[in-house]
Structure 1
Amino acid sequence: MSTRRNFLKKTGLGAAALTTVPSFGFNILKKPMPEDEIIGHGDFKYKVVKDWAKMTVGHNPILNCHEMQMDSKGRLIMLGDHTDNNILVFDKSGKLLDYWGTRYPGGHGLTLNDEGGEDMLYIVDCGWYQDRNGKWNKQAGTISKTTVDGRLLFMLPDPHTIGVYTSEEEYMPTETAIGPNGDIYVADGYGSDYILQFSASGEFIRKWGGHNNSDENLNIRNAHGVAVDYRDKDNPVLIITSRATNSFKFFTLEGKYLKTIELPGAFVCRPVLDDSNIYAGVCWSRTREGKDYVRDTGFVTILDGDNKVVSNPGGEAPAYENGKLQQMFQSEKPVFNHGHDVFVDEDKNVYVCQWNAHHTPPVKLERI
């Protein structure tokens, strides 16, 4: 079996998806970005800002825009997987301020944490990368802690080297989150679907999740994202993405299962918390014909403080029947290809990073 088919199997795409996703390369035909389009629902409506990023991909090439964070200086830091410049740094007007990074061919997850008044980055290389000839390759995933200008401080250990994984278990991490005491939580979303917990200094504490538990509540299928939910300040919890099952799962900081929020039809990426809301990019959505992983079917979804979906920018309006969320679909007038991450600024504008979107930089959604 090819490495690509292995990847599809591990991430929940499966054999059926091979008929609907012809290539994990870049699409030939480009969808037009609506000009001055208003998208979203209820109190969460946005104007699509065309060409927000003032840059040229000829000078600063992009394969995929994976994730974005904002530092204490108000700079937007984007992680991609092109090793000419893994990191692109913008101001809020879209001006490119800086770029760096050549060591992360599978650049995928980006977390920023304020540590004693200094911004720190946790950069996840998932190990799955595309070479200059367009061929997909696989290597060991890594997690690096760096300063905001790229100085490497330390790397977390590979779980095989410390006896946490067996030789049969793959390690291809996708995301990190930092707990209130500095503990580092790792989502092994393209590998064995565990959540691994390390101390702030990189010492292994525990793991949980995976996808082979008899209790389905404990299973995480394509553990693509992890975030700490501080909405109850006295009781922070973890939100874990189970992308292949269209859901977010909630766990305690020690790994005890709490609940599941179903998001029918939406293959969501990491949860992004802002005030009482959860935002997420949707990489794919199920079609009305029931097909999964059909390319160019992404959007953004927004949940309120009660974990109810209130807006789907780029998708159809969420609908509930008898308190149950119905299947969500991309809008009939598509805006996004594959939503991979969002960042929400202090004005509640949303910046959308996309995977497999014709080498395009992030898109800004201006709150109206």
Structure 2
Amino acid sequence: MTRQTELFHLEKPSLVLPKSNIDPHGMIVGDGDFCYRVDAHWGQLDPTKVPVENCHGLDMDSQGRIIMVTDNTRNNIIIYNQDGKLLEAFGSEFPGGHALKVVHENGEDFLYVVDSGWVLNRHWDGHSTDQWDSPFNRVVAQAGFIAKLSMNGRLIFTIGHPQTIGVYRPDQPFRPTDIAIAPNGDLYVTDGYGSDYLLQYDSQGRFIRHWGGHDNQDTSLNLVNTHGIGIDLRLDKEPKLIVSSRGERCLKQFSLSGDYLGTISAAGAYIGGPIFKGEHFYAPVCWSHIDGKNQHDSGFISIFDANNQVVANLGGTQPEYIDGVLQDMHSTWDVFNHCHGLCIDNDDNLYVGQWNAKQSYPMKLVRI
């Protein structure tokens, strides 16, 4: 396990601020033009039939269905309609199911599923949950992978450990966390729980290049717990990558060939990758940075405008810029645990999945 994985994915906080005991169903979150009514019961299912562990990744297909990946191997893929009705559940091959993207090719939808390499330990001692170097912890690490599937679950191809193609050394872990697909079909993968590189492949899964990691002389090129990624196609500008460097509480911009273009502050927020809608993008925040640590149950959702400025925080303190500098943001502790997966429908409603949230199902935030 890498040091940054321990610190930013797994570490216990020193101060736990209790969540409100008010049921968030029907609560209004947001500010100004970005207000939403919380439907906390939207995705609830029978856990004895369709269980979840963490609701890690969400996306919407061309039919408007909400597709989710969870790391419960009873049913890795769960498909809802927008009213929260279960349409289908399948898959058992992704014990570390972590991210999911839908791509439309030649009139057909396909799924890319990212497995981050975590697996339930059959030798679990029954109580250890954060003894990460112990062979008896509840989950243990293995190599992750990426799979391309048809919408009925048929495997098209997989991308495995880069050591097999001479890109990584055998001692470098590969535990990918997210994927983005460029207009030309190229794939961009963040190795956020492994060696913190960003890897580029073509549409057939053939390696092109990689960059990032921790050892660049220019530290702006480094990535720390690079958790999520998106391709910015807004305003008809040249496409670029926006990549979370979650451990640094920021997002970094790169060209599609890996040139560094700038950093977007997410002051106080351990932020994930962007989800674009119109001129804005939305990003899930897993933790707030308080008392020098990533606080438990302190997630929220940040909304950025066309100039990459935060304009609203859902479930968090509202953004403030002083002399052009974003001030620290944090949760209001009344809605979310740890925001992780996110997608947006055509009516600007949000669907939110959470990590480490007591096996809760995704919720819907209805735009007001």
Alignment TM-score, normalising by the size of structure 2: 0.92
CA distance, structure 2, for counterparts of residue 346 and residue 131 of structure 1:
40
In structure 1, the residue matched to 2:146 is: 143
In structure 1, the residue matched to 2:322 is: 321
Contact preservation (8 Å) 1:157, 1:202? no
Once the 2 structures are TM-superposed, how far is the Cα of residue 31 of structure 1 from its aligned partner?
A: 5.5
Once the 2 structures are TM-superposed, how far is the Cα of residue 168 of structure 1 from its aligned partner?
A: 2.4
Residue 299 of structure 1 aligns with an amino acid whose one-letter code is: F
Once the 2 structures are TM-superposed, how far is the Cα of residue 149 of structure 1 from its aligned partner?
A: 1.5
Q: Does 1:73 align with 2:63?
A: yes
In structure 1, the residue matched to 2:358 is: 358
**Change over 3 Å in CA distance of 1:29–1:324 after alignment to 2:** closer
Contact preservation (8 Å) 1:12, 1:221? no
Residue 79 of structure 2 aligns with an amino acid whose one-letter code is: V
Q: Does 1:295 align with 2:296?
A: yes
Residue 10 of structure 1 aligns with an amino acid whose one-letter code is: Q
**Change over 3 Å in CA distance of 1:178–1:214 after alignment to 2:** same
Match of 2:54 among 43, 64, 76: 64
**Change over 3 Å in CA distance of 1:166–1:283 after alignment to 2:** same
CA distance, structure 1, for counterparts of residue 216 and residue 207 of structure 2:
21
Contact preservation (8 Å) 1:63, 1:359? yes
Contact preservation (8 Å) 2:58, 2:343? yes
In structure 2, the residue matched to 1:95 is: 85
CA distance, structure 2, for counterparts of residue 81 and residue 35 of structure 1:
25
**Change over 3 Å in CA distance of 1:209–1:99 after alignment to 2:** same
In structure 2, the residue matched to 1:217 is: 220
Residue 349 of structure 1 aligns with an amino acid whose one-letter code is: N
In structure 2, the residue matched to 1:281 is: 284
Which stretch shows the higher mean deviation, 11-20 or 222-231? Answer: 11-20
In structure 1, the residue matched to 2:255 is: 252
Encode CA deviations 1:201-251: one digit per residue, 9 max, x unaligned.
Answer: 111111111111111110010111111110143410011110001111000
CA distance, structure 1, for counterparts of residue 260 and residue 239 of structure 2:
13
SS of the residue corresponding to residue 146 of structure 1 reads strand
**Change over 3 Å in CA distance of 1:284–1:139 after alignment to 2:** same
Q: CA RMSD in A?
A: 2.0
Which stretch shows the higher mean deviation, 300-309 or 131-140? Answer: 131-140
In structure 2, the residue matched to 1:235 is: 238
Encode CA deviations 1:113-150: one digit per residue, 9 max, x unaligned.
Answer: 11111111110100023347561111110100001111
Match of 1:84 among 51, 74, 99: 74
Please list every run of 5 or more consecutive structure 2 residues that lacks an aligned counterpart in the other structure: 130-137
Equivalenced residue count is 354
Matches within 5 A, 1:158-169: 158-169=161-172
SS of the residue corresponding to residue 300 of structure 1 reads strand
Residue 365 of structure 1 aligns with an amino acid whose one-letter code is: L
Q: Percent identity of the aligned residues?
A: 44
Match of 1:55 among 45, 48, 55: 45
CA distance, structure 1, for counterparts of residue 106 and residue 273 of structure 2:
26
Please list every run of 5 or more consecutive structure 1 residues that lacks an aligned counterpart in the other structure: 1-5, 23-27
In structure 2, the residue matched to 1:25 is: none
Q: Does 1:208 align with 2:208?
A: no
